[in-house]
Amino acid sequence: MPNHPPLGFTFAGVSCGLKKTGAVDFALIASDRPCAAAAVFTRNKFAAAPVIYDRALVAEHPAGLAAVAINSGCANACTGDAGLADAVAMAAEVEAALRLPARSCAVMSTGVIGVRLDMSKIAAGVRLAAPQLSAEGWDAASRAIMTTDTRPKVAFRESGGVRLFGMAKGAGMIHPNMATMLSTIVTDAAIEPVALAALLREAVEVSFNSVSVDGDTSTNDTVLVLANGASGRTARGAGVEAGSSEFSIFASALTSLCVDLAQQIARDGEGATKFITVRVAGAASDADARAAAKAVANSPLVKTAFFGGDANWGRILCAVGYSGAAVDPARADLWIAAGMGAGENGREGEGENAPTLQLVAAGQPLAYSEAAASAIFAEKEIFVEVELGLGDGQATVWTCDLSHEYVDINGHYRT
């Protein structure tokens, strides 16, 4: 049963006039019963009004949420006290329209920073969306949260009798988290809020945080998960322990769904023409591997070289060298391949047939074929592996290249 959303959830996506283009810009998600909720928010000190609102809401009512409203076209960030009042009013509009208790609706916003939300348009969005809520509305909802995204990002999982659906938006990819990344995930599993929060943190670390720089987050970034229990299956709760197979199956499905959405974000990076997987292994620690992989993935010099198809591999080691990770230059190896890598021994490339090229061994450049390197850099999917030879630490990060179009998009974002 592909693309069947979780039981008990309905969705809508409508146009309320916030986007100048008239495209859909207001999404609503509702549950027919209260949900366990967990969320991960930006650490930016200029957190947007909806982040401030949701942070308190989820802490206060982790078992009582029933709706999420999301607008694009305006981030409601850097809008002061008035902006916070707008976020409160947006939630209240939904609660009134859906006859929900107070403080049961979360809100998210994405778009231009520093501009007040047009509350008459938000009210119109609620009025339009509420009667359109349906199990099939997930597609419209996923389109209504797009900003510079070129396509909607959705993922479905069904496993152990429970269903998960996630939608995400986010496309700015140089310092990825600076462009707002929003994701809402819903599931009909029953799970205790504390267990859900712990699972979400783990899943986000290897997914959304693996296309981003720690601490380098936009004003609005939010990942919210709602679990309504409508499947009748419990992943964690009375009689179902953390070590149970139900719990493991749900945890795997949630992580897999988050990784899927995160990779879709990297593939749709602003102006992206290539998808790049960076794996660092043999680091002194996983944290070191992650720091090194992110430095490579976020280096504008590396990313422009990928865009240009120029096998300028020295920039990869240069980025590892300033990442802060422990490095012994005499032990570093570097491989490149087409594709996304494969499993543990990622440098095998995508299956047995992907050409793999070692460029550096024990810190010494090898006499590789320039034609072979250029052929790999010309691919649409490129895999880079750095082996540091120091320990067991490893991490994988996904990114895209940096193109002319990125500059176009961000040079005139508001105009």
Catalytic residue set: 180
Q: Is 327 in the site for a second copy (CB under 8 A)?
A: yes
End-to-end alpha carbon distance in the chain: 43
> Using CB atoms within 10 A of its CB, is residue 350 exposed (0-12), middle (13-18) or buried (19+)?
middle
User: E strand or H helix at 383, and its extent?
Assistant: strand 381-387
Q: Is 72 in the site for a second copy (CB under 8 A)?
A: no
Name the token pair of 68: 């999420």
- Using CB under 8 A, pick the residue from 132, 159, 312, 358 that binds a second copy: 312
Q: Is 300 in the site for a second copy (CB under 8 A)?
A: yes
- Using CB under 8 A, pick the residue from 89, 287, 318, 342 that binds a second copy: 318
Name the token pair of 241: 């322990």
Name the token pair of 230: 């409508």
Q: Is 71 in the site for a second copy (CB under 8 A)?
A: no
Stretch that binds a second copy, among 7-15, 62-70, 110-118, 344-352 (CB under 8 A): 110-118
Contact 25, 245 (CB under 8 A): no
Based on its alpha-carbon atoms, the radius of gyration of the chain, rounded to whole angstroms, reads: 22
Name the token pair of 140: 């419209």
Q: Is 413 in the site for a second copy (CB under 8 A)?
A: yes
By beta-carbon proximity to a second copy, the closer residue of 2 and 411 is 411
Name the token pair of 177: 């988290």
Shortest distance, position 27 Cβ to a second copy, whole Å: 22
Fill in the per-residue mask, 185 to 224: x = in contact with a second copy (CB under 8 A), - = not in contact.
Answer: ------------------------------xxxxx-----
Stretch that binds a second copy, among 59-67, 98-106, 137-145, 398-406 (CB under 8 A): 398-406
Query: Which residues have a Cβ under 8 Å from the Cβ of 237 and sit 6 or more positions away?
Result: 190, 191, 192, 195
Listing from the earlier edge strand, what are the strands of the sheet with 393-400?
Answer: 364-365, 356-361, 333-338, 381-387, 275-283, 393-400
Fill in the per-residue mask, 341 to 380: x = in contact with a second copy (CB under 8 A), - = not in contact.
Answer: ------------------xx--xxx---------------
- Using CB under 8 A, pick the residue from 320, 340, 357, 376 that binds a second copy: 320
Give the span between the Cα atoms of 333 and 381, in whole angstroms: 21
Contact 53, 95 (CB under 8 A): no
Name the token pair of 343: 């499993």
Nearest C-alpha neighbor of 211 from the set 169, 245, 157, 154 = 169
By beta-carbon proximity to a second copy, the closer residue of 33 and 116 is 116
Fill in the per-residue mask, 158 to 177: x = in contact with a second copy (CB under 8 A), - = not in contact.
Answer: --------------x-xx-x
Q: Is 40 in the site for a second copy (CB under 8 A)?
A: no
Shortest distance, position 236 Cβ to a second copy, whole Å: 33
Contact 169, 147 (CB under 8 A): yes
- Using CB under 8 A, pick the residue from 3, 33, 46, 392 that binds a second copy: 46
Binding site for a second copy (CB under 8 A): 43-47, 75, 77-82, 112-114, 116, 172, 174-175, 177-179, 215-219, 299-301, 304-305, 307-315, 317-322, 324, 327, 329, 332, 359-360, 363-365, 402-404, 406-408, 410-415
